[in-house]
Each structure stands twice: as structure tokens, then as C-alpha cells.
Structure 1
């Protein structure tokens, strides 16, 4: 990467880290800290934990499309401003109802797609994977940091302190976006951002819908867990500020488990490994649903959960990328992200509702049962090979498309071709045998 690309990737990764820290830090503490509100109830806690997911799911695709029309930076800055406003609303909330309003406003700052598109705009095609990988690592890092920092900050400054810090971090991101991230020419975004005309086809794709529902269940379960787990730890006489002593070793061991599973998979994503990860998560919820379980059972269950969660969270996006048609990855990922965030909302609402009517044990049991349904859904998923996506530009008319598509399909390593004559873009899905020089020659001869 050159200096410009390195600066862009680090700045955008920092924006992601600071923003996601704010969203995630409340997850391990809200169920306990919210008891101080006069209108406290398990249902309200569930809505507060997962409320951001509702607006994130609704606005993820529209805001990505708007960044094509209005520009990346204006949309990102607007999203950060809405996110900061929601954070300060939540920080000043004196009831659970206002806290939920703040969380919903936080989710309205749905800028993930615009950030990824800006990263694409300011990087060369040969370096784009590295830039996006840096941002992806930052997202995972922010989650682990948030789970550890949340209880410590809440102990010193309370829930209001977490939201206030979150709002300030969002404001800090604004000058980074405006002045540190370089301006780039808005590129054709078929493989980066959602396209309206592709939505219906991809929503009902026989393979993609299984991954979309899978990520919905995945994030439903992690939200359900964090509505219940802090309260479970209180039963072992663990004060909120000591919960990090459980999360730190649990996350460390689960990362080791992830590395072992990834090493055994050898760059592939076998369906058997997906099954195994879901079974780990289901076993964790079944163990937590048992009455009078010990601290050791709880800790072991959470290790199992996060080992499975980490593996699936790391591999589902690459499966979506491999399955999505050439030139339609942006739409596929936009739909995937919407299901992901809706899962967070559903998990919070379901967990709170069940606990309100029955008991936390029933909520855990519902989590275990949902993994059985999930296994049935994954059963129909076909194993796919990892592919590389390439975008090339050329000059060709609509009348030349069919002949050009046929000729490019004959190039070694080309698996799939999508052409867009309006902006002269050629989208390719290729394998390791791809001959880029020959593909370039075919496009230039059109």
C-alpha cells in the first residue's frame, strides 16, 4: 500500500473502532445498570440492548445508496452526527423509554456501507483487499475491547458515562473523516454498495437466504446472551466491575479455538465446521438453561458460545462474497448486514419478552432450541470455493455486451462475468488460474 492508502485504511479503521466501541460497550452492562431506572423491566432492557439494530437494519441499504448520490463523506458525517445525538440522548435519559429512544437514534447512523465504499474509492484495485482487511480486523477488535471496557467504565461513570463517551468518540471521528481520509473518485459500486434493481433477486436467492437467516440467528443469540449473562454473573456475587475478569479469559480462549478451527479448515469453510460451530453455541445455551449450575459451568458455556460465534462471524461474510453473483456483492452484503442488525433487535426483544413472562432459564432454552432450527437451515447450504473478485473498466456499447461477455468467459480462471455498459465496468469472479493480462486484452479489443 502507498502512503495515501495506508492513511485512509487506518483512519477509516479508527472511525469503525470508535463508533463500534460505543455500540458494544453497553451490551455487557446494560442489563445490570438499567435496574436504577424507575420503569425498569426485562422487556425494556431487551429493547434497549437490541434497539439500535432496528434502525440499522432499516437504513443500512438506503444510506449506502444515498452515498452514491450525495457523496461518501457527507453521508458518513451525517450518520456520525445522528449517532452522537442518539448517544447524548441516552446519556441524559432518566427513564428506560428515553434510553431506548437514544439507542434507536444511535442505530439510525447506519454508515457501514458508506465507509466500505469510501475505502474502495481511495484504494487501488490491487490493494483494496488489504484496506478492507484492516477495517475488518478493526471491527472485531472493537467488539473485544468494548466487552472488556464496558464494565470498567460503567463502574466509574455509570451507564450515562458510557453513552457520553460514545457521543464524544463519534464527534472525534468527524475530523478524521473530513480531513484525514483522502477524497476519492466515486467508483462504480455494484460490488461495493447495494443496487435497487438487484434486491428482490438476491433476497430470494436459494443459497444467500440461508446465510442471511443464519446471521440473523447468530446476532439474535449474542444479544439474547448479553441481556441474560450479566444478571447470571450477579448470582455468583460478582459485582459489575469484576465481570471483565470472566470476559477476558473467555474471549482469549475462544480466539485460540477460532485459530485452531481456521487452521484445520485450511482456507476453506466446510459445512461440517459450520455445523460444529452451531452445536457449540447450542450446547452453551443448553448448559446455561440448567438450574443451579455452577460458576465453572457458566464460564465453560460462554467459552463454547464465543468459539462458535467467532468462527461463524469470521466466515459468513466470505461465504456471501463467494456466492453472490459478479457485480452484485454490494447488494448481497447490504441485505446480509440488514439481517444481521435485525437479528440484534430480535434477540433483545425476544430475551426481554420471555424473561418478563417466564424466567431467564426459558430464554436460554429458546436460544438452544433456535440452534436446532438453524442446523436445518444450514443443511441446505452448498459448499463453495473461495473466489476472488476483479473489477475492470473498458469502453463498450450495449450491443457489444453479449459478444464481450462470451469472450471474457473463455479467459482462463474466469468463473462469472457481469457487464455494465453505462459506466464501462466489467465485474469478474475468478479463481487462482485467472489470466488478468488476457482479460485486459479482450476488454481493450471490444
Structure 2
């Protein structure tokens, strides 16, 4: 990478980590204060957790298109300020409805599509997979640190302290916009003519291929939040406050294990093969966790395999989307991609909750195995499925 590309990737990755860290820190502790919040019910607790993903899904596309029209950096700054506002509100509310609205505002800062579009603008074709891998890997870093630091902040200052820490991270994330990330060169970002042209991205088969893939992948992540932590606590014989001791080594090992497959995909143009392998890894890891529930080593190894598959796919899919679009389409295409990404989290959480109530914890892991297998099938037959979603006639020749 050139020095300008390295600055761009490091700055964008930092924004991604800071913002997602603030969100992931809340995931393991939101339920701990639900009993003390005014008007709290189990349904409202579920809404407080899920409404973030729903808000992100609805607003990713408008933010992506707005960034094409008004510029990447102003839209990024606006989204981060919304996130800070929601975090501050969450820190000072004493009702569950207040928490719901705060989470809605956090999710309304839907800048993931803009971050991906900016990375595409500022990196060359030869290094785009590396850039997307760095940004995609930053989500895993944020996930690990969030699970580890959330309970720590909660122990010192309760839910208020976790929300304030999220707000502080949102403010810090604003700094690289003008201090680190280079300006987008003239002609690299062409503004789109209007919404009608932007909406054509939903009929763009290569974009829909990657977007359906990320929907399936994020379904895995959303459903895994329902059962993975309880299973790790049970298998490792630890308390909930010690869960960071498990997630940290698991995620570090899985991030290290993803490097070689991603390099193979980039150097030998074998993105489809590596994506298929990632789906198989997810399916295998989930299946073993279901079959070996409560047993330390099988569950630990399976968790590493599971997250290795997730990390490989999360690096390859955005690169596939970005390579398939022109500069003037990139913001809108990223919006479609991120729309299905966050919708996948929301749907995955719903499917996981339904599976837990009907089939129990082990049943959810088996559902995850099936969804992982679907990702493998999508990697081989993605164009055919995307034609159906895009409203094109199906061609048996693929």
C-alpha cells in the first residue's frame, strides 16, 4: 500500500473500532440493569437490544446515497454525532423506554456503508482486499474488546458508565476524519444524479450477490449472541463477569487464522473458494458446539473454528462488493450491502430467540450450522439467487 492508502485504512479502521466498541460493550450488560429501570419488561429489553440493528438496516442505504451527494466526511461526522447523542441519553435515562430511544439514536448513526465506500475511494484495486480485511478485522477486534471491557466498566460505574464510555469513543472517532484520513482525490468520488439511479443498485446482480452473502453471515452473528456466551460460561466453568477470559484468546486465534485464506483469495483470485470454506468452518464449529455442549476443549476449539470462518467471510464479502461497482455507484452499493448486513443481525437475533424457546441451546447451534452451510451454497450459486432478488429471469446456465 502507498502511505496515503495506509493512512486511510488506519483512520477508517480506528473509526470502525471506536464506534463498534461502544456498541459491543453494551451487549453483555444491558440485561443486568433491566430490573431496576422504570417500565421494564422482557419485551422492551429485547426491543432495546434489537432496535439498534433495525435502525442501522433502515438507514444504511440513505446514508450511503447522502455520502455520494454531500461528501463522505460530512456524512460520517453527522452519523457519529447521532451515536454520541444516543449514548449520552442512555447514560442519564432511568426508564426502559429511554434506553430503547437511546439505542435507536445510536443505530441511527448508520455510517458503516459510508466507511466502506470511503475505503473503496481511497485504495487501489490491487490493495482493496487488504483494506477491506483490515476494516472487517477491526469488527472482530471491537467485539473482543467490547465483551472484555463492558463488564469492567459496568463493575466500576454501572450501565451509566458504559454508555458514557461509548459516548467518549464516539467523540474520539471524529478526530481521524480531518487529522488522519486523506482527502478523496478529485474525480474519485462522483456524486450520483438522484435516488432513482441509486435504487438501481437493488437490481445490480454482483452487488446483490455480496449483499445476500453478508445477510447470511450476519444472521450467524445475530443468532450466536443468543446462546454463545451462556454455552462458553457453562463449558469453561466461569462466571459471567469472567467471559472476557474466553473471548479474548478465541478471537485473537481466529483473527490470526484468517490471514492466510484471505491472502490466498487476493493473490490467486479464489474469493469464491475461500468464501465457501468459511461457510463450512462456521457450520462445523456450530455443529461441534451443539454436539459437545458443556465440554471444555471441544467447545473451545469449535469456537475458534467458528469465528475463523466468520472473520474470513467478513473480509472477503465487502471486497467483492466494492470491486463490482464504479466510483459513482460505490456509496449506494455500500448502502445496499450494509442494509442487508444489519438486517441480517436483526433477523438472526429473532431466529436465535425463536430457536432457543423451541429447541433449546443445542438446537440454536444446529440452526447456526445450517445457516453456515447456506453461506457455502451462496458462494457457489450466488448469481442465480441474486437474479431472483433483483427480479431478473432465472437462467439455468447460471
State whether TM-score is above 0.5.
yes
Give the conservation status (yes or no) of the 8 Å contact 2:91–2:164. Answer: yes
CA distance in 1, matches of 2:16, 2:202: 27
SS of the residue corresponding to residue 287 of structure 2 reads helix
CA distance in 1, matches of 2:36, 2:282: 32
Let me know the Cα RMSD of the aligned residues.
Answer: 3.8
CA–CA separation in structure 2 for the residues paired with 1:269 and 1:34: 47
Question: Structure 1 pair 203/98, CA: closer, same or farther in 2 (3 Å)?
Answer: same
**Equivalent pairs, count:** 379
Q: Summarize the Cα distance change of 1:210–1:198 in structure 2 as closer, same or farther, 3 Å threshold.
A: same
Q: Which residue of 1 aligns with 2:387?
A: none
**Alignment partner of 1:91 is 2:91:** yes
* 1:190-217 CA distance string (max 9 Å, x none): 5x98963444443234443332122112
Alignment TM-score, normalising by the size of structure 2: 0.78
Which residue number in structure 1 is paired with residue 298 of structure 2?
297
The verdict on how the C-alpha distance between 1:295 and 1:113 changes in structure 2, with shifts beyond 3 A counting, is: same
Q: Which residue of 2 aligns with 1:24?
A: 24
- Distance across 2 between alignment mates of 1:359 and 1:37: 28
1:177–1:325 distance in 2 versus 1, CA, 3 Å? closer
Change (3 A) 1:292 1:114: closer
Question: SS of 1:339's equivalent?
Answer: helix
Partner-residue secondary structure (3-state), 1:288: helix
Q: Name 2:218's counterpart in structure 1.
A: 219
Pick closer, same or farther for the CA change 1:182–1:135 going to 2, 3 Å: same
CA distance in 2, matches of 1:105, 1:229: 27
Change (3 A) 1:337 1:225: same
- Residue 193 and residue 32 in structure 1: after superposition, are their counterparts in 2 closer, same or farther (change >3 A)? farther
The whole-number CA distance in structure 2 between the counterparts of 1:138 and 1:289 is 28
Question: Please, which moves more after superposition, 75-84 or 131-140?
Answer: 131-140
Higher relative contact order (CA 8 A, sep 6+): 2
Higher helix share: 2
Unaligned regions of 5+ residues in structure 1, if any?
383-446
Give the aligned partner of residue 315 of structure 2.
314
Contact 2:201 2:207 in 1 (8 A): yes
Deviations 1:73-128 (A, max 9, x none): 4433322221112112333444544433322211101123445566778x697999
- Matched residue SS, 2:61: helix
Correspondence for 1:385: none
1:62 match: 62
Secondary structure, in 3 states, of the residue corresponding to 1:235? helix
1-structure distance, mates of 2:193, 2:158: 39
CA contact (8 A) 2:25 2:162 kept: yes
Pairing of 1:44-443 with structure 2 (within 5 A): 46-115=46-115, 138-139=138-139, 141-174=141-174, 177=177, 187=187, 189-190=189-190, 196-236=195-235, 237-265=237-265, 266-290=267-291, 292-324=293-325, 327-356=328-357, 359-381=360-382
Q: Give the 3 Å change call, closer, same or farther, for CA 196–50 of structure 1 in structure 2.
A: same
Q: For each residue in 1:307-343, what CA deviation from the matched residue of structure 2 results, as whole angstroms up to 9, or x when unmatched?
A: 1101111111122233346753433222111111111
TM-score, scaled relative to structure 1 = 0.71
Verify the 8 A CA contact 2:48 2:100 in the aligned structure 1: yes
Deviations 1:334-379 (A, max 9, x none): 2111111111122223323443565333333322233344443333
Is there any run of 5+ residues in structure 2 with no aligned partner, and where? Answer: 384-398
**Structure with greater strand percent:** 1
| Contact 2:84–2:171, Cα closer than 8 Å, also in 1 | yes
User: Is the contact made by 1:87 and 1:106 (CA closer than 8 Å) also made in structure 2?
Assistant: yes
1:169 Cα deviation from its structure 2 partner: 1.7
